[in-house]
Amino acid sequence: TVLSWLGYIYKYSGTDQLDTAEKAYKESFEIAKKLIPENDERLVPYVLDLAYLHYDQNKFDSAVPYYEQAIAILKNNTQNTQYWLSLYELSMCYYNNKTYDKALAGFLEIEANDTKPEVKDQLLIGPIYTRIGLIYKQQNDFGNAEIYLKKALSDCTQSNTDQTKCIVPLENLGDLYLVQKEDAKADIYYSQSWELQNNPTQFDPYLKTLTQNLITVNTYLNKTEEVKKYGAFLWNYLETFKEDELLDSYQNGADFFKRANQPELYRFLLEDELDYLQRKTPNNTKIHNVLNRLGKSYKDQKEYPKAEDCFSKAITFIQANGNNSTDLLANLDPLITVLTLSGKTSEAKKYTVLRETVFEKQANSPEGINKTKLKKALY
């Protein structure tokens, strides 16, 4: 007993004392084994001291044999609440180590006995339902996963007047339907979860992921205005709380909208990115790249006045920030095409002259001269 108390003291004295705590617990256990018969329940506290020590450090592999030993001793006396607490923590060890079959067996045993006082008075059934549902999902048994995740949500809503406690159960169901590409069902649960947390005061990576998932499912459902709502929220959220991730979010979103063939949403994102860049870094060269992409998208949709505006602004920006020939040509060529298609012949000629000037400047640059010499050498 003295050694057990020493182990307890060392355990909570800091991480540098954990090895000393384990040594004290093991010495205590060895002494207990000499004084107490092998399957006597009086051994259980000494076994669990070691189980808890490893469990609290997330050393689940090391904790497993001690929990198994405690359960083996208690298996003939399941009225002992310690049996069920140990079974739950052993199942959590298996779950965290991805030994899903054993974890599932443990959680199902607890569920089957939930009406017994020694179980229901010690363990909340909602988290048990959740783990069972997530294991079935991991095993691609989506039917059973749905049953148990819905049980978890039902238990949560009935047990809590504060529905923000049910954010995770809602998202779990959304995730389940997302995996199965049941976008309409995923949207129902994701949107309920989002409504419970859309006024954040700090960054939460789970809220970011939830919002991205809502953008995804609503894109596939062709709910354009909903996508815009969630997109605007996401970019403002990142700008406010996690600005270093914002540009990557714009890039990933643009790629997604292009793959999904959603030109309106693609341009909506680019307009938002352009606004951000012009406000925060008005000389950032990304600005003319965004204008160029916007112009091309408007051109593809035959919205020539808007395309003309984007290409013209890109050219003005480039001329004011380095006058790079390659960047100018990337905008001059499509601008001339757009002006020609719009019947603006004189404007097209003006930019054609500018393009020839840029070509000449490019040819006379050191880089251009070197390219000419290389071609002559090759031929």
pLDDT of residue 366: 60
Give tens-digit pLDDT for 229-285.
Answer: 999 999 999 999 999 999 999 999 999 999 999 999 999 999 999 999 999 999 999
pLDDT of residue 10: 37
pLDDT at 53 over 90: no
Residue 18 identity: L
Where are the chain's structural domains?
Answer: 198-274, 281-379
Q: How far apart are CA 32 and CA 268, in angstroms?
A: 70
DSSP-derived 3-state class of residue 230: helix
Q: What is the mean pLDDT of the chain?
A: 90
pLDDT at 376 over 60: no
Considering only 28-32, 86-90, 120-124, 342-346, which range has the smallest mean pLDDT? 28-32
Q: How far apart are CA 27 and CA 25, in angstroms?
A: 5
pLDDT at 375 over 60: no
**Separation in Å, CA 161 to CA 156, 192, 204:** 9, 16, 23
Confidence of residue 13 (pLDDT cuts 50, 70, 90): very low
CATH among 1.10.260.40, 1.25.40.10, 3.40.50.300, 2.130.10.10 for 281-379 = 1.25.40.10
Confidence of residue 20 (pLDDT cuts 50, 70, 90): low
- Fill in the DSSP letter of residue 343: T
| Six token digits for residue 146 | 């749905």
The mean per-residue pLDDT over the stretch 69-91 comes to 95
Please check whether residue 236 is in contact with residue 273, taking contact to mean a CB–CB distance below 8 angstroms: no
Give tens-digit pLDDT for 298-335.
Answer: 999 999 999 999 999 999 999 999 889 999 999 999 99
Residue in this structure with the two tokens 């006024």, named with its chain if needed: 199
